[in-house]
Amino acid sequence: MGKKITPGLRKRGDVWHIEKTFKGVRLFESTGESELWKAEQFLAKRIDELRQEKVYGVRRRRLFSEAAARYLTEYQHKRSIDRDIPSLRLVMPYIGDLTLDRVHAGTLDKFIADRKANGITAGTINRDISVIRRVLNLSARLWRDEEGRPWLDTAPMLSRAIGEKRKPRPISWIEQTRLLNQLPGYLADMTLFALNTGMRDQEICSLKWEWEHRVTGLDAMVFVLPDEVTKNGRERIVPLNSTARSIVEQQRKSSEGFVFGLDGKKLSRMNNKAWIKARDEVGLTNVRVHDLRHTFGMRLRAQGVGLEDRQDLLGHYSGRMTTHYSRADIQRLIECVELLCRTHEKPELTLVKCA
């Protein structure tokens, strides 16, 4: 007859996990041990720590998952929160059930390796790590327990993933047609809108009807994005060409609140499973949603649109006012984006290697 397993321990794969409630505190974490006797020692230590906290006021060690939950609650107004949520969700299987003092660069090695193995670029992985770093810094510098003690004594240094920087991959008009035909309707509309406005993924998903403005004296329409949505935190104007306006008018018949909402709900991102599947099926596996923005900028430059106008249309901060244009300024910017509605009628040039 085998040894009786200590209550509160459960094995998942090769590792023992704690699932126990002690003095009103729920313990749900990994022991990091594959041997039962070591896991029992770890459990006994955690119970003693809770007892010390309840009886003598000793600081409790908190899980990374607890800190991450607090971050998402307190910073839900953050512009990038919709991107932070997937980053934290991805890392939870690796460090979610570790106490904060056990999280360090080494504990992220497998996370980084697995992400690279899935073809994720170093830049994207480093963005995930920056969210983890933010949670740890808040735990050490801001958050305090009932006795005024920090959740974490010192935030560890986290290494960065190393890899080749990904180059922009604008798409051609032919590739655009193939991609749009493969995408589901709602994503095709959002993709075409991105190609004609240069807006970022999150800006399009967050786009609200209340930001729409008619331009007096012109038969034109723009959206004014508030500073809490834009990447650089500055309000900016988005002029619409005839293609973008037609997409907006189609959405007006079925959308409420958000211009591109699906079934009345806000979309978290364009880069979802449907986008990836459609992109891969038409042979554009190296194209990201952000490349639609690169395509917009490239096409403007090909049409002779000057640098300052391209900066304004892309929302790059250049020291100029972005929402206090004169009517002539707005008209000029609309004329710039209107050029994109007819460039596809011209034959495309391609580069072919010499034999």
**pLDDT, tens digit, for every residue of 152-167?**
999 999 988 887 777 8
The sign one gets for the Cα dihedral 301, 305, 306, 307 is: negative
Read off the pLDDT of residues 270-309 as tens digits, 9 standing for 90 and up: 988 999 999 999 999 989 999 999 999 999 999 999 998 8
Structure token digits, residue 214: 């008619």
Both 230 and 271 in one domain: the answer is yes
| In-domain check, residue 150 | no
Both 46 and 103 in one domain: the answer is no
Q: What is the pLDDT of residue 1?
A: 45
Read off the pLDDT of residues 229-264 as tens digits, 9 standing for 90 and up: 787 777 888 999 999 999 999 888 766 788 997 776
Q: What is the pLDDT of residue 100?
A: 93
Both 135 and 180 in one domain: the answer is no
108 Cβ partners below 8 Å, 6+ apart?
A: 91, 94, 95, 129, 132, 158, 159
Residues 47-55, mean pLDDT to the nearest whole number? 72
Both 129 and 194 in one domain: the answer is no
| In-domain check, residue 202 | yes
Residues 170-191, mean pLDDT to the nearest whole number? 94
What residues make up the domain containing 135? 78-141
- Confidence band of 354 (pLDDT split at 50, 70, 90): low
Both 180 and 242 in one domain: the answer is yes
| In-domain check, residue 161 | no
Both 249 and 309 in one domain: the answer is yes
Residues 325-333, mean pLDDT to the nearest whole number? 80
Q: Are 319 and 302 in contact (CB under 8 A)?
A: no
Residues 63-68, mean pLDDT to the nearest whole number? 91
Q: What is the pLDDT of residue 318?
A: 56
Question: 50 or 158, which is more confident?
Answer: 158
| In-domain check, residue 135 | yes
> 335: burial class by Cβ within 10 Å (0-12, 13-18, 19+)?
middle
Both 26 and 111 in one domain: the answer is no
Both 194 and 300 in one domain: the answer is yes
* Rounded CA Rg of the chain: 26
Structure token digits, residue 131: 């969210």
Read off the pLDDT of residues 110-138 as tens digits, 9 standing for 90 and up: 999 999 888 888 888 999 999 999 999 99
Q: What is the pLDDT of residue 163?
A: 74
- Of 141, 161, 186, the residue at which a domain comes to its end is 141
Q: What is the pLDDT of residue 321?
A: 47
Both 82 and 219 in one domain: the answer is no
- Helix 185-197 crosses helix 242-252 at what angle (to 10 degrees)? 140
| In-domain check, residue 296 | yes
Read off the pLDDT of residues 85-115 as tens digits, 9 standing for 90 and up: 999 999 999 999 899 999 999 999 999 999 9
Distance CA 113, CA 145 (A): 35
Read off the pLDDT of residues 4-48 as tens digits, 9 standing for 90 and up: 778 888 888 888 888 888 777 777 777 878 888 888 888 888 787
**Number of structural domains the chain divides into:** 3
Both 87 and 45 in one domain: the answer is no
Both 206 and 341 in one domain: the answer is yes
- Report the CATH number at residue 182: 1.10.443.10
| In-domain check, residue 29 | yes
> Residue 3: pLDDT above 70?
no
Distance CA 215, CA 229 (A): 22
Distance CA 347, CA 216 (A): 37
Both 135 and 186 in one domain: the answer is no
Lowest mean pLDDT among 173-182, 222-231, 269-278: 222-231
Phi/psi at 161 (5° precision): -70, 140
Which of 196, 227, 216 is CA-nearest to residue 313? 196
| In-domain check, residue 268 | yes
- Of 141, 163, 192, the residue at which a domain comes to its end is 141
* Strand ranges of the sheet holding 25-30, from the earlier edge strand across to the other edge: 9-12, 15-22, 25-30
| pTM, to two decimals | 0.64
| In-domain check, residue 306 | yes
Token pair 């504990």 in the structure block, residue: 107
117 Cβ partners below 8 Å, 6+ apart?
A: none
DSSP 3-state of 239: strand
Distance CA 131, CA 74 (A): 14
